[in-house]
Structure 1
Amino acid sequence: MNRYLICFCLFLSMVNSHTFFAQEIEIIGKISDSLTAVPRANVILKREDKIIAFSISDLYGSYKITNSITKNDNLLLEISALGYSKKQIYIKNLLKDTVINSI
């Protein structure tokens, strides 16, 4: 019985290792062109081509994304808005709250 309990605990620790080592990170920013803020822009945070968080900028171009990440996550922030070309920002080793302004 103890052998099964130990195996089960090891299994749970492997499955949830991302959760144990994850850190809550907040990415905020303002999307604007050379003249004004860009409202209703799509802001997508991806990890390995999978969407892990999504936000839409407000009327002043401000956005906020909160998500759990680990130290070695390679992230991609995609920003797109009607009438503008899509912008991709690669983020490596993000360890604290960050401000990313774009376009």
Structure 2
Amino acid sequence: MKYLIIGASAAGLAAAETLQKINKNYKVTILCREKKPYSRVLLPYLLAGDVVEQEIFLQVPEGVELIGKKEVIQIDPKKKEVFTTSGEGFSFDNFYNLIFFNDLNVMFC
């Protein structure tokens, strides 16, 4: 089973970790705009000098593939594929993407 998670926020990483705990044979991939995931909550502390840059980065769960610098611009739930700004397509069996409450209708395809 291939799971695709769009976004490497704390929620996306928690979803990936949960999927790996459910079944280690799941292929879990995270697509994110950033090069690597970081904690947005810690940004004010970084700017204030209370933490160093390395402290804001989040760990990707073991067994999860992170593909950074990819911005998803189109989701085709019927074909089970997403497309990025670079034109690349990524297929999935199930995907997780919840940006706004209204996205619930396409969260699990």
TM interval, short-chain normalised: under 0.3
Task: Kindly indicate which of the two structures has a greater share of residues assigned to strand.
Answer: 1
TM-score where L is the length of structure 1: 0.23
Task: Kindly indicate which of the two structures has a greater share of residues assigned to helix.
Answer: 2
